[in-house]
Amino acid sequence: MDKIDRNILRELQRNGRITNQELAERVNLSPSPCLRRVKQLEQSGLIKGYNVEVDHEAYGLPIIVFVRVQLERHSADVVSKFEKAIKDAQRVLECYVMTGRSDYLLKVMVKDLHDYEHFVRHQLHEIGNIASIDTSFAYGVVKRSHVLPMVDSTL
């Protein structure tokens, strides 16, 4: 992957619906080579797909909750059961395996506090083997981006 590929990826992250003509102009290529590069990036798996960003408040899920979960045990069965349940939980948008005090960090979307309580009582607690749940509610967003930073291609 060279600098042109990185520029193509950057532009597509900013606007996945950009036309090939406009993309080619922005990365200083003619349209045919630009389209070839995009197809190669898709085939290589660097481009995994194209998404629509939805306004979560207008959608009816205005509250973003970050939930730190610590498991009681870390046996293969406990971890597998927890991770499968989280993958199936629609309210959980993201789940990260963490270092430090918590085992997992979840990003959860809910409509209100009652909705969050229902999620904890009827989804998280039902999984079992959870030692602790620590919750933080986001009350504002300073920065949110889906555009990966540029990296030095020599590294």
Q: Each residue of 121-133: pLDDT tens digit? A: 999 999 999 999 9
Q: Residue 67 pLDDT more than 60?
A: yes
For range 63-74, the mean pLDDT: 97
CB atoms within 10 A of CB 63: 17
CA distances to 21, 35, 128, 131 from 66, rounded to whole Å, are 40, 39, 19, 17
Residues facing residue 138 across a β-bridge: 64
Q: Which of 115, 106, 111 is nearest to 88 (CA)?
A: 106
pLDDT-derived band of residue 41, with 50, 70 and 90 as boundaries? very high
Mean pLDDT of 43-61: 95
* pTM exceeds cut of 0.95: no
Question: What domains sit in the chain, N to C, each tagged with a CATH number?
Answer: 3-44 (1.10.10.10), 56-138 (3.30.70.920)
22 vs 28: CA distance, rounded Å: 10
pLDDT tens figures, 74-96: 999 999 999 999 999 999 999 99
Per-residue pLDDT at 102 exceeds 90:
yes
> pLDDT for 13-36, tens place per residue?
999 999 999 999 999 999 999 999
Task: With cut-offs at 50, 70 and 90, classify the pLDDT of residue 155.
Answer: very low
The whole-chain average pLDDT of the chain stands at: 95
- What is the pLDDT at residue 13? 95
Tens of pLDDT, residues 128-147: 999 999 999 999 999 999 89
Closest to 2 in 3D by CA, of 32, 30, 39, 41: 41
CA triplet 118, 119, 123: central angle to 5 degrees? 115
Helices (H), the chain: 3-14, 20-26, 31-44, 56-59, 76-88, 113-119, 125-127
Residue for token pair 């797909």:
49
